[in-house]
Copies of this chain bind each other. A is one copy, B any other.
Amino acid sequence: MSEPVVVVGGWASPFVTRVCIALRLKGVEYEFLQEAVGRKSELLLRSNPVYKKMPVLLHGGRPVCESLVILQYVDEAFSAAGKPILPADPYRRAVHRFWAEYADAKLHSPLRTLRGMVGGDKADAAEQVSAALRQLEEAFVECSGGKPYFGGDDVGFLDIVVGSYIGWFGAAERIAGLPVLDEARTPRLAAWAVRFCAHEAVGDLVPDAARLVEFGEVLRAALAANASSRP
């Protein structure tokens, strides 16, 4: 019998979303343990004592932390199952890893500003996201080689990493009232995002932008309540 696979996280986190997409791409059944808003479970704290952050993947009870590490673990631990996540060619693997780190380094923080989760100038944050997306549009041309995905004929590592932000792009646009993933500036990425969300391994795993806007309100209220209840 195969060892149980459990994802500890929240549906709204892009870092969690990408782990679920990878598991579905591999055809691995998993249990999803939803974390409550504003309160970390004992299981999360025990499984990721260094960062105390979601997602955690538990495989046969052993924890794997940090989403990019988890994606590679899923690819390697379930190598016989489903589709490969990273390309086979060493150079293409390096290019995917480079741009995946780039996406996380450049998108996450300004998207939080645009969504009002942290302070900062929103117009400035929108320009940072747009600049990163223009770079990623160039990366898309390089990686896809005229095919539909960063991974070529099918979604791969870099599709999953950038694709996990698509719901946040839409939520940031609505909350800040500023364009984010803009067809005029990054037409190839805009078309790719539509294709990605229609992929059978993705489906409902990329959260709906409207639902993320609502969730943001709940989260900000919880954070404010936490802050005001501190002595």
Contacts and interface: CB of A to CB of B under 8 A. Distances in A.
A69 B91 contact: no
A12 B153 CA distance: 42
Interface stretch (A28-36, A95-103, A115-123, A183-191): A95-103
A69 B90 contact: no
Interface stretch (A17-25, A72-80, A160-168, A218-226): A72-80
Contacts of A73: 90-91, 93-94
B66 A90 contact: no
Nearest to A75: B90
A230 interface: no
Interface in A39-54: 50
A91 to B, nearest CB: 6
A95 to B, nearest CB: 8
A70 interface: yes
A120 to B, nearest CB: 21
A197 interface: no
A76 B87 CA distance: 12
A176 interface: no
A91 B62 contact: yes
A76 B64 contact: no
Given A50-B102, A135-B50, A93 B64 contact: no
A65 interface: yes
Contact of A91 (B64, B94, B102, B135): B64
Contact of A66 (B62, B70, B79, B98): B98
A98 B135 contact: no
B91 A77 contact: yes
Given A50-B135, A62-B91, A97 B77 contact: no
Contacts of A91: 59, 62, 64, 73, 77
18 contacts: A50-B102, A50-B135, A62-B91, A64-B91, A64-B94, A64-B98, A65-B98, A66-B98, A66-B101, A69-B94, A69-B101, A70-B94, A72-B94, A72-B97, A73-B91, A73-B93, A76-B90, A77-B90
